[in-house]
Amino acid sequence: MRSLHGHSHLCLVVADSERSGKLIHLIVASGTPVWPLFHYFQARNLDFSTEATYAQAIGLFIDFLAAKASEFAEVGDRSRLFNSFAHALLYGTIRDGDDSTGLWWHARKQQRVNRLVGLVCEISDWLHQRYDNVAINPFSRPASVAEQIAFWRRWNTSKAASLLNHTKSRGAASGKAKTARTVVLPVDVPIVADGAPAFLEDHIERLLFEGFVRSGAHSQKPPWLRWNIRDILITLLLHYGGLRVSEPMHLWVDDVFIDPSNPKAARVLVHHPSDGIYEHPDPMTGRTICSTRADYLQVKYNRLPLTETTGKGHAGWKNSLLTHRARNAFEVFWFPQSIGELFLSLYRTYIQQVRPFSLNHPYLFVTQDGEPVGVGSFSKSHSSAVRRIGLEPVKELGTSPHGHRHAYGQRLKKGELSTKEIQVAMHHVSPLSQDVYTQASSADVWEVIKTATPKLAASGLPFNSHALLLPPFK
C-alpha cells in the first residue's frame, strides 16, 4: 500500500483477478475506491511503471480538489479550477514559508507539469466517453491558426516516426485540428544547453578503476576484493553499450554469451522484463522449451518481473527498439568493440568470485543479500565513485548514471554512424529520439568553424575580414 501523510487519497497496489493477478493501481478517495479509474487502468493495460505515473497525476488532482474545489463550486468555474491546478503544479503552493492549502507542493519543471496535466486530461476524456461525465478540460473552442499549425506539426512528426504510419489518416485527424482545449498551458520554451550532459571521456577510466575501489582495498588484493566488479560491469553497459540505467537490472545470468566472431568478447542481450523469451530444459522431457520471462519467474521462483515489483528492487522499462524480435530482446552494441573483451573477463570474475551460486532468482546483478540490485542502490554507489575521483554527481554536469548514455550517443556521432544506425544502436523506436544525445557542444561547433574558415576564404566569396575592423580612434 502506498499513501502520503496528509493527502486525501491512497494509492493501493492490488492483484487484478481478471488479468491473472497482474498488479494494478487502485486509488481510494475519502475511503472509497475510485472504480472508474480502476476500469481505466484495466482498459489501457499499461505497464506497471507507466501506470504509476498516471496514478500519481490523478492522485495530485484529487488532493487539489479536496483542498480547493469549494472555491470553484459553480459549474461555470470548471475551467478556472483546472487552470488553478496546473499553475499550482507549476509554481507550487508554498508562499513565504506557509501554505494555506495544506498541499505543500514545491514548484515543478514545466515539462513535468505538462506531462501530469496531459495525463489528467487523457483520463478525463476517457471517462467522458465511457460514462458521459463532464470532461475537465474539453476540446470546446475553435482552434486558432497557430494551434492548428502546431497540431499538424505534431501529427506529421508522429506519423513520420511511427512504425504504423500507414494507419494514420489525415482525414480522421482534420476534425481534431480545428478544436482546442479550454485551458491552454504556457508553451514550454526549451533551453539550449551547451551540448548534451555527457560523462567526460577523460574521467571514465578513473571512475571505473579508482572510483569503484572497495574500502580498505590495496593493489595486492585480488580483483574481486579490490574493486566493486558488479558496478564496474553496470557502468560498462551504460557508458560503452548505451543502456539506460534501469536496463542492466533486468539482465539474467544467461543473457551474456560468447561472441561467435570473437571468443574473447561478450555478447549481451537485454530482454523485455516480462515478454522476453527464455529457453530452458523441460524438467519432464529434457527438451528445450521457450517461456516468457514472466511465466518462468512465476513457475520456477514464484516471483514477478522487476517492473511489477515494489520497493528497492523495482526497475522500470522504457519502450525500446527490440532488434531480436524472436526473443523480444535487443543486443548491446559495444563501442568501441574492444570493451566486449573487458566485459567478458570481468563477468567471469564476477560469476566465479562474487555472485552467490544458489539464489532464488536468475538475475545477474545482486546485492550483498542476494536480491536483485535496484536502480537506487546502483545510483548511490555511482555517486560515491564519482566523488571518490574528485567530481560532483550532478545531472547537468553529465556525472549522473544517465550521462554515460549521452557519452555513448556522442561517441557514435563522432564515429560517423548514420542516423538510422545510431537509432538501432541506442534502441530508439523513433529516429528523432537520439537528437538530444547527439547534440553538438559549443566546443564541437567552434572546432568545425575553425576547420571551415580556410575553406570560406578559398571559396571566392566577397568577404574581407579586415573591412569589419574599426578605424583607429583619434
181 CB burial (10 A radius; 0-12, 13-18, 19+): buried
User: Total structural domains in the chain?
Assistant: 3
Beta carbons of 294 and 274 less than 8 angstroms apart: yes
Half-sphere exposure of 468 (CA within 13 A, CB side): 4
DSSP string, 251-318: -BGGGEEEETTEEEEEEEEEEPTTT-EEEEE-TTT--EEEEEHHHHIIIIIS---TTT--STT-----
Residues 179 and 229 in one domain: no
Residues 143 and 210 in one domain: no
Residues 122 and 247 in one domain: no
Residues 254 and 335 in one domain: yes
Measured between alpha carbons, how far is residue 372 from residues 65, 84, 125, 234, 375 in Å?
Answer: 39, 42, 39, 13, 10
Structure-block grid coordinates of residue 88:
499550482
Residues 316 and 258 in one domain: yes
With a CB cutoff of 8 Å and minimum separation 6, the contacts of 131 are 36
Phi, psi of 42 (to 5 degrees): -65, -45
How far, in Å, CA of 393 to CA of 405, rounded? 15
165 found inside a domain: no
Q: Which residues of 103-115 are buried (b: 16+ CB within 10 A; e: fewer)?
A: bebeebebeebbe
Residue 181, H or E segment: strand 179-181
322 found inside a domain: yes
459 found inside a domain: no
Residues 282 and 427 in one domain: yes
Domain range for residue 44? 2-133
Residues 109 and 153 in one domain: no
CATH code of 373's domain: 1.10.443.10
Beta carbons of 33 and 26 less than 8 angstroms apart: yes
472 found inside a domain: no
Beta carbons of 152 and 143 less than 8 angstroms apart: no
How far, in Å, CA of 469 to CA of 474, rounded? 15
Residues 102 and 179 in one domain: no
- Candidates 317, 255, 248, 249; CA nearest to 280 is 255
- In 92-200, alpha helices (H): 110-131, 145-161, 170-177
449 found inside a domain: no
**Looking at residue 186, what is its pLDDT?**
53
Count each helix (H run) and each strand (E run) in the chain, helices first: 15, 11
Phi, psi of 359 (to 5 degrees): -130, 160
Residues 206 and 322 in one domain: yes
Question: For the CA atoms of 134, 138, 139, 142, what is the dihedral angle to 10 degrees?
Answer: 90
The C-alpha cell 575592423 sits at: 469
Residues 152 and 11 in one domain: no
Total Cβ atoms within 10 A of residue 160: 12
One digit per residue, pLDDT tens: the chain, 474 residues?
333 434 678 888 899 888 888 899 999 988 889 999 899 999 988 888 889 999 999 999 999 988 888 877 654 566 788 888 888 898 888 887 788 888 889 888 888 888 898 898 888 888 888 887 777 766 655 655 555 655 555 556 665 555 455 555 666 666 665 665 666 665 444 433 455 689 999 999 999 999 999 987 677 788 899 999 999 999 999 999 999 999 999 999 999 999 999 999 999 999 999 999 999 888 778 788 999 999 999 999 999 999 998 888 899 998 888 988 899 999 999 999 999 999 999 999 999 999 998 899 999 999 999 999 999 999 999 999 999 999 999 888 899 999 999 999 999 998 888 888 888 999 988 776 666 666 655 565 556 556 665 665 565 554 444 444 555 544
168 found inside a domain: no
Kindly state the DSSP code that residue 363 receives in the 8-state scheme.
B
167 found inside a domain: no
281 found inside a domain: yes
**Looking at residue 154, what is its pLDDT?**
58
Residues 347 and 217 in one domain: yes
Residues 107 and 183 in one domain: no
